[in-house]
Structure 1
């Protein structure tokens, strides 16, 4: 009851913490709710299946499970025979998937899922899709198509496949998407089996059938049922989900960090303002343990109230976040918000947890206040920070500097996340060291003003020196706002400058052949441009010495320098990872399930333009008939043998820049969302901490009024102090971002081969600084004005 009474009586001082927890819990609730809603769902074309039998998964370099290791035709046949013999199994279907896209009037028919639109006829039973007209395909020249395509049975249809344009006779139509060839023709185009579907007989329980299937396949496969069938997702949907998940993760991480950072800083300020009260309680016999439990209990109540309100706000904001992701095209199509319990529980646990942890950190020095402290005036901050705070700040500073250095040598896909991590650490270091910096900097800045003979600079200097802890707590949200705004906008600007420099060096004098309305280049498109490497990507599976099976990206090339039959050329890092040497025979498993021994013809320096595992293009095509080609680089003056539908030719440098501009617009949008969250969140904390700090100085203001100070002078003094603290915090926030941005620029220089310098966005820095100055100055002035008007 005492804790609840304290919260109610001191609600004005707890309001800042409550608002911070509310915003943080709301952001976490919204992001996790959208994340849960975007989880993979079972494809409609697999709705009739009871269970899916999937091969074991290979791992990538990081040890994460990735592609499933395809079965060879013989292995798949043995498994289907065993599964077909199980009681309750009506049918066993090997699901084939390959590229297929209709061509009309010389243009591919738009189809986002064309890369996986081709199937064998048996796969139509998995939905099931009904045959509306005609019959099933019997020969390799026959196809059944979706009725919505508008092609009647008996008509001729040109379908683009990996080999190129192929004429088919439409022999039937179904009520679902896809192009269905005969099972034999589909097996030729996708020979490696990755999915075996089980269709149940009537009245067969799913659990019993799945259990029997697991017994039959043993450790050679994984059997999934129910929602587990969502493991199979179209690649274009997975790509969107990946992008959306990255943004959601960034927003959630930013929310957790900012919540903990700001709540801790505000609790330090609020607890410091209660030193007189805590001294009185010590005088009346309260022990440090009792005081600590009181402060922790109050923080838990405030955190719980803030989390409850934040969860409601987050549920209201989830549809808005969903709509934003859909507009940015980084969410699965048709995403619907689905409310579940775990995002709410997680947000509540984080809200209460950061409140309690912040109160515990703030209470450690506060509860040790001596009973005689009650006889002194209330002190809002120490002249000097504690030794533990200084040591901790220096240690965190060293850790942040190390993270910034690692940013320069990190892999390309980890640089930005590592730069954000380094900035978070350095912002924390700046906040810990701020009490030691505010006073000295304040003295240096106000020293020239003392010559004016006015009392204002003296009071300003004294306020910053005596209230360094209070000033540091006010500066903390500004440091976070400026740090994140400068980092995110600077990272975008630095990458925007680096990309043209690297592309100009790499692509000068070349043209690029790209897919236009298709998911990749076909063999027909590659043959139309006989000059060029015509890379054909595939996935290769190899066994390492430690017994694990790993998957690597391989490229088929027609460049005679490194595309001889039966041989492979590796980059240095890949060779070291696999533990192979030049001249060694190394077995490699391909997409069709066949294992082929390859001779390692050479180990060359890593080169992204060449690839880290290069094979002969005919070898890749013979084992992966479903692979589509990458963009093709050719000399700028070369001409195609024939114009192939679904391709376009561009100047390589201009196309790369235009393509990057498209990606940059998405990056700008994502960065703007993150900046808005960080700055908006910090703005609330800035206003609250400034108001709390100004309200705590009522006694000081009364003394100044009694000695002749006017209301106008005191308001100007409060505004000047808030502006100076904001300016110092802006510099600290800027300094916290420079090392990570420098590391990012250095890493980009290494990867592009061109000099890249650090770029900042002056507009973003100016806008955030002015907003913080205006907010802090206005809040301090308003609260001071209200205080001095009281008798």
Structure 2
């Protein structure tokens, strides 16, 4: 059998080259995703930055810890606690204590992420003056980099200051150093400090004070700004490559199995001739499996080599595009190669196994058949599998919790089930769709339209095999991009419905409004202001799950005047310092019930539920009063007009009130447009990566399958030339048939996308969120157009050499 398999591979090069290319590319993609995924599991150890020269750093509690029957649950606090005064007093007996006070700073024409510190802490990051001197008065500062030189006066949200010195930019932040006394006035809280004492003595001094952390050695990095940024980046990267790997595995398995099945179906007469010569069904099956083994081993090995070459380039692209940290590199992992090779070999054998069973059932009379009509294009097993997957897709759409249908992992992975189901059942749909598409062209003068219709409907297996890549391409493009577009539109509609203010005032990026600015805004004639701040609330659900909910702190009466919250029950004005507004996702969500929560700083309280919001798209969070969000900076002011107030005069007054702090005044419509939920850059690039990999692979597969299908028809097309058809007519026929088949695949893909998006529309309706129906027609059209161009080009390019002068005769029957 092995020798026959080798001879067959040599004799049918085009067919097996197509299978080889499909499998090699699939294994290459799996190798790339596996290497990227393995490399995203561990971050390099980052050395301390801000306190690299400090001996001991004491940090206030920044983690909420709650004991449960199954262990301690933790969540990062929205507002870390300050180091208690009692702890500071104890530490001062051991040695010099330097309090680190951190606060946001906004300066005209300065970097958007400026942060203030007292000058004494600069020494612990090894900042050294490059020009000028240290600050001595409240109106003097030292800055990093070259954006401001000594002698320059800066206008900041904390008043005018003069730059008296500069230090080198160390790359991890843009600090503004004030005197120690001025920093204490601007930031009363200190969440961390440096102690000039032995670590053991410091630990003994703070023993018994809950939550305090004594950081030494590499642990000092926990006092750096955003110490978890590497872990968070890798978590996002891991999710991205995991999703991309899943999509890649699905597309590659789908395409490879389809390619192998089509390759076997093309050889019906060959198998019939072998049966006539005395081959048994078992011998035919073993021959097909041996061919798959040879092709699978060679293609998998080639794919591993190609994947090893492409993985570093993917890592560089993700780092350059901001998807991964700049240090991300492909490591020396070996298991992805073994996993990809084994997967490729297994897919080849499984893809050929089903086809080999059909080959073994070929009768000797098949060698005598001249008709290319597929009388039985679907086996019973294919029907059962397709029907089962179709039922599974329907159950997932109808029975999954509505909230789950809006999650990225769900709307990325769920279409695969329906795509596979429709692809398996596509032979049942090919004939009616082709007849529908070719009805009008078939009635035109000439035989091209008629021949296209009859050829496509006669070769159902061929049509379904070529349509499959187009089906995957259009379905994925429509489902993925359509899901994000509909979800963003629903969130934008929610934002628009909730906002009844005339103006919305926002601070500079990374900053909050100070008390002086708030007083100035509230003093504007004709303005009714509602100042809100961001915080968080934690609740223990089912006794074991510590859940964090984003919260807004607001004064109830002002909030009711400037917002229209989507209430399911209760009243906004019933909110007070002893109550909370929750949404329907909470375990307890009945007005009047009391619920135990932890506030943003970890304070435990039991609050009464004053009102319940509808779930919506997930942005309907929690509301508390400012007393339950102590220390949270105001980051948004909604302003309604009092009766008889002039909008222009109020807008001018608001601009003057926030001018010193750099705040921005927008009308409600302008703010809604600016706050329109857009897919963030990382998520957008991630979706494009997943979609790009799938579309690239299916595009290559489309060319591959089209070449295989067209090469098998050279004798048929040469017969048309003998019947009087010109070379141009044959090329037009081949091109028209390719476009028709792609149109069939595109229609099936559009059907899948519409069904998937209908599931999302249903979920939004059940969640009482605005239902905005949008289809990404430009993406669908681009995907379908690209498939049509590739298919037509591949078909014409394959036939063209066979139609040259001297090649017009039909090849002899073998």
Give the TM-score normalised by the residue count of structure 2: 0.73
| Secondary structure of residue in 1 paired with 2:329 | coil
Matched, 1:614 2:617: no
| Aligned pair partner of 1:383 in 376, 382, 400 | 376
Once the two structures are TM-superposed, the CA of residue 4 in structure 1 deviates from its matched residue by: 7.7
Q: For 1:600 and 1:613, locate their aligned partners in 2 and report how far apart those are by CA, in whole Å.
A: 13
Once the two structures are TM-superposed, the CA of residue 743 in structure 1 deviates from its matched residue by: 3.5
Q: For 2:555 and 2:44, locate their aligned partners in 1 and report how far apart those are by CA, in whole Å.
A: 38
Matches within 5 A, 1:483-632: 483-491=475-483, 494=486, 498=490, 501-507=493-499, 510-530=502-522, 531-543=528-540, 546-547=543-544, 549-560=546-557, 562=573, 566-573=577-584, 576-577=586-587, 582=592, 584=594, 586=596, 588-591=598-601, 593=602, 595-600=603-608, 602-606=610-614, 612-621=621-630, 625=631, 627-632=632-637
Matched, 1:266 2:259: yes
Counterpart in the other structure of 2:563: none
Q: Is the 8 A contact 1:292 1:360 kept in 2?
A: no
Deviations 1:166-195 (A, max 9, x none): 6889998765553467599779948585x7
Query: Unaligned 5+ residue runs, structure 2?
Result: 67-71, 523-527, 558-571, 642-646
| Secondary structure of residue in 1 paired with 2:623 | strand
Q: Is the 8 A contact 1:264 1:358 kept in 2?
A: yes
Q: Is the 8 A contact 1:136 1:172 kept in 2?
A: yes
Q: For 1:422 and 1:320, locate their aligned partners in 2 and report how far apart those are by CA, in whole Å.
A: 27
Q: For 2:109 and 2:459, locate their aligned partners in 1 and report how far apart those are by CA, in whole Å.
A: 70
Once the two structures are TM-superposed, the CA of residue 260 in structure 1 deviates from its matched residue by: 2.8
| Secondary structure of residue in 2 paired with 1:733 | helix
Say what the alpha-carbon RMSD is for the aligned residues: 5.4
Q: Is the 8 A contact 2:503 2:640 kept in 1?
A: yes
Once the two structures are TM-superposed, the CA of residue 692 in structure 1 deviates from its matched residue by: 0.6
| Aligned pair partner of 2:640 in 629, 635, 638 | 635
Q: For 1:438 and 1:225, locate their aligned partners in 2 and report how far apart those are by CA, in whole Å.
A: 68
Deviations 1:469-516 (A, max 9, x none): 222111111111222333345446546765665555443552110123
Q: Is the 8 A contact 1:569 1:615 kept in 2?
A: yes
| Secondary structure of residue in 1 paired with 2:665 | strand
Counterpart in the other structure of 1:319: 316
| Secondary structure of residue in 2 paired with 1:645 | coil
Counterpart in the other structure of 2:801: 786
Matches within 5 A, 1:208-357: 234=226, 251-274=244-267, 280=274, 283=279, 286=283, 288=285, 291-292=288-289, 294-323=291-320, 325-326=321-322, 332=325, 335-336=326-327, 338-342=329-333, 346=336, 349-350=339-340, 353-354=343-344, 356-357=346-347
| Secondary structure of residue in 1 paired with 2:796 | helix
| Secondary structure of residue in 1 paired with 2:556 | coil
Q: For 1:536 and 1:339, locate their aligned partners in 2 and report how far apart those are by CA, in whole Å.
A: 42
Matches within 5 A, 1:38-117: 42=46, 44-45=49-50, 47=52, 66-67=75-76, 98-101=102-105, 103=107, 107=108, 109-112=110-113, 114=114, 117=115
Q: For 2:90 and 2:365, locate their aligned partners in 1 and report how far apart those are by CA, in whole Å.
A: 89
Q: Which one is further off, 422-431 or 7-16?
A: 7-16
| Secondary structure of residue in 1 paired with 2:551 | strand
Q: For 1:72 and 1:618, locate their aligned partners in 2 and report how far apart those are by CA, in whole Å.
A: 16
| Secondary structure of residue in 2 paired with 1:532 | strand
| Secondary structure of residue in 1 paired with 2:579 | strand
Deviations 1:651-686 (A, max 9, x none): 111232144397699988776666554444322211
Q: For 2:36 and 2:98, locate their aligned partners in 1 and report how far apart those are by CA, in whole Å.
A: 34
Q: Is the 8 A contact 1:557 1:614 kept in 2?
A: yes
Q: Is the 8 A contact 2:470 2:698 kept in 1?
A: yes
Tell me: CA distance 1:234–1:707, structure 2 relative to 1, closer, same or farther (3 Å).
same
| Secondary structure of residue in 1 paired with 2:735 | helix
Tell me: CA distance 1:57–1:423, structure 2 relative to 1, closer, same or farther (3 Å).
same
Q: For 2:672 and 2:233, locate their aligned partners in 1 and report how far apart those are by CA, in whole Å.
A: 21
| Secondary structure of residue in 2 paired with 1:309 | helix
Q: Is the 8 A contact 1:21 1:351 kept in 2?
A: no
Once the two structures are TM-superposed, the CA of residue 720 in structure 1 deviates from its matched residue by: 3.5
Tell me: CA distance 1:309–1:381, structure 2 relative to 1, closer, same or farther (3 Å).
farther
Q: For 1:360 and 1:501, locate their aligned partners in 2 and report how far apart those are by CA, in whole Å.
A: 48
Q: For 1:358 and 1:222, locate their aligned partners in 2 and report how far apart those are by CA, in whole Å.
A: 57
Q: For 1:217 and 1:294, locate their aligned partners in 2 and report how far apart those are by CA, in whole Å.
A: 72
Q: Is the 8 A contact 2:551 2:621 kept in 1?
A: yes
Tell me: CA distance 1:255–1:81, structure 2 relative to 1, closer, same or farther (3 Å).
farther
Counterpart in the other structure of 1:13: 15
Deviations 1:699-728 (A, max 9, x none): 545666677766555544433332222121
Q: For 2:226 and 2:413, locate their aligned partners in 1 and report how far apart those are by CA, in whole Å.
A: 32
The structure richer in helix per residue is 1
Once the two structures are TM-superposed, the CA of residue 535 in structure 1 deviates from its matched residue by: 1.4
Count of aligned positions: 747
Once the two structures are TM-superposed, the CA of residue 389 in structure 1 deviates from its matched residue by: 1.4
Q: Is the 8 A contact 2:469 2:699 kept in 1?
A: yes
Counterpart in the other structure of 2:565: none
Q: Is the 8 A contact 1:275 1:369 kept in 2?
A: yes
Q: Is the 8 A contact 1:403 1:418 kept in 2?
A: no
Matched, 1:720 2:725: no
Tell me: CA distance 1:620–1:479, structure 2 relative to 1, closer, same or farther (3 Å).
same
Q: For 1:614 and 1:760, locate their aligned partners in 2 and report how far apart those are by CA, in whole Å.
A: 35
Tell me: CA distance 1:289–1:535, structure 2 relative to 1, closer, same or farther (3 Å).
farther
Q: Which one is further off, 419-428 or 121-130?
A: 121-130
